[in-house]
Amino acid sequence: MSTLDTSGRVLTGWNPEEPENWSAKIAWTTLTISHYSMILAFCVWLLPSAIAPKLTEIGFKLTDSQLYWLAAMPGLSCGLIRLVYMFLPPIVGTRKLVAWSSLLYALPMLGWFFAVQSTETSFGTLLALAFACGIGGGSFSGYMPSTGYFFPKRLTGTALGIQAGVGNMGMSIIQLLSPWLMGFGLLGITWIAPQHAGSGQVWVHNVAVFFIPWTIVAALLAFALLKDVPVKANIRQQIDIFTNPDTWYMTLMYVATFGLFSGFAAQFGLLIKNTYGPQSALAEHFDKSLLPLGATYAFLGPLIGSVVRMLWGPLCDRFGGAIWTFISIVGMGATLAVTTFYLHPTDPAQFPGFLWSMLAMFFFSGLGNAGTFKQMPMIMPKRQAGGAIGFTAAIGSMGPFIVGVAIASLGTTACFWISVSYCAVCAVICWLRYARPGAPFPGWAPASGVRPERPQLSDGRGGAATHSSPARLPRRRRSVPVRSSSARRTAASQPQADH
């Protein structure tokens, strides 16, 4: 048995399931640096959503539909980029993955910094910059499987819940800090003239440039302190995840939980602005100064969903992820259905009903985002689970694009009811396959970390095959003719030939 050696850049003898070959310090250091970088990544991902509500106020000639497209475009690019990132952890290693990704985050922020300084910047240019921001959300599909290599299965729910939850808080941080950062000239760039909005002078470019130095710090920390684990696989070896049906079922679950969470989080500020704010139909009959501003409340949804996701990791380790995924999807469908009654207000007094039902939806999404990432490592082999997490995250991250395009093309009410219907379908699948008592794939393990025996499935030859390693079925054994006891005695009495 090889012993653990942590002296080099690559850990040798690393096995989180064996305490003597695992280092908690290295695992938690990796988690800390990775989720610091991921916070910045999600700030980049939702940068267009933070800036878009201010663009028309400072002189950009953009329609509501174009603003929804700007907020939606990072979701499309993020999904495409995640399809690449999901293969990178076993190819490039954790250290280079986190370090170089952190540096890449600075590029779209730098582009937005210059673009918003001139109202002559074309919509096509803004759309391209919004697309580039997808790198922030795209790296998630590399970070999460990579971090999973460092922890034993009994801690995967906690570790991945913390990383994803803290990382998702970047969506809230960018929404929360944006109004404040736009309110004054940043030290060192006060020579850049502010823009003029209805409320006075604003420095919209501050939001983009403020985070750039922190991405450089993240890259330096990664290069200096992170290590790689000896998990190697080429792309051909990794595509076996697509032969496992749980990859596809869990993708459906994650689109319901994270897809809708990220989609409505990206559009939350614009929804408030266009439904209840100064740009809504209510402004024709009520004092605009008394109507809510989208930027004031936009950070609440991502914040609630992210914190709940982080806090629910230990509960998923204790009770399993499937039941929380089921509760999440049912709760999201119910709260979205309630929200539809507040989408065509006749009085600003209806705004609290809209706000609280949406915040309840974000709460339930956090349960499911934690639950799904607990399920996958328990029902799949370790390397395959990493790839499946990357793939499901890639598809789920298209939520901002899907929700944004649905609102822009079908209308807000239709988008909400489609989301409710999708939640209903996913809830049925989750209950039958994962959450009900005696479900075939519960994805549950006790605190000891020992996986319970899985139900046996037919192997197609009349026998049984376990599902604990979905990538491989037992080999067919050569048949041996059965002889009677008298034949065996006769054979034993015969002289044996010399060899």
Q: What is the pLDDT of residues 296-306, one digit of tens each?
A: 898 898 889 88
In the block, residue with structure tokens 């002189």: 59
Residues of the chain with pLDDT > 70: what percent?
A: 84
* Mean pLDDT across the chain: 82
Amino acid 290: pLDDT = 86
Angle at the Cα of 103 from the Cα atoms of 238 and 72, rounded to 5 degrees: 70
Answer for the pair 137, 42: CB distance below 8 angstroms, yes or no.
Answer: yes
pTM above 0.95, yes or no: no
Amino acid 1: pLDDT = 54
Specify the pairing of strand 195-197 against strand 457-458: unpaired
In the block, residue with structure tokens 């998923």: 316
Q: What is the pLDDT of residues 313-368, one digit of tens each?
A: 788 878 888 999 999 999 999 999 999 999 999 999 999 999 999 999 999 999 99
Residue 480 DSSP one-character state: -
| CA separation for the pair 367, 292 (Å, rounded) | 28
Q: What number is the average pLDDT over the span 51-58?
A: 86
In the block, residue with structure tokens 């949406």: 358
145 pLDDT band (50/70/90 cuts)?
A: confident
Provide the strand spans (E) within 209-330. none
Amino acid 35: pLDDT = 85
Residue 258 DSSP one-character state: I
Q: What is the pLDDT of residues 201-238, one digit of tens each?
A: 888 888 889 999 999 999 999 999 999 887 666 566 66
Residue 12 DSSP one-character state: B
Measured in residues, the chain has a length of 499
Angle at the Cα of 311 from the Cα atoms of 305 and 316, rounded to 5 degrees: 105
E strand or H helix that includes residue 499: none
Residues of the chain with pLDDT > 90: what percent?
A: 36
Q: What number is the average pLDDT over the span 168-183?
A: 85
Q: How far is CA 470 from the centre of its chain?
A: 24
Answer for the pair 324, 316: CB distance below 8 angstroms, yes or no.
Answer: yes
| CA separation for the pair 490, 319 (Å, rounded) | 60
> 3-class DSSP state for residue 228?
strand
Answer for the pair 330, 427: CB distance below 8 angstroms, yes or no.
Answer: yes
Strand partners, 200: 197
Q: What is the pLDDT of residues 422-463, one digit of tens each?
A: 999 999 999 999 989 888 877 655 444 444 333 333 344 444
Residue 387, CA distances (Å) to 218, 230, 245, 438, 459 in order: 25, 16, 13, 27, 24
How many C-beta atoms lie closer than 10 Å to residue 198's C-beta?
A: 9
Q: What is the pLDDT of residues 195-210, one digit of tens each?
A: 777 667 888 888 889 9
| CA separation for the pair 78, 175 (Å, rounded) | 19
Half-sphere exposure in the Cβ direction for 120 (13 Å, CA): 0
Q: Which of 103, 95, 265, 86 lies closest to 168 in space, CA to CA? A: 265
Q: Is the dihedral angle over the CA atoms 107, 111, 114, 117 positive or is it negative?
A: negative
Q: What is the pLDDT of residues 463-490, one digit of tens each?
A: 433 343 344 444 444 444 444 444 444 4
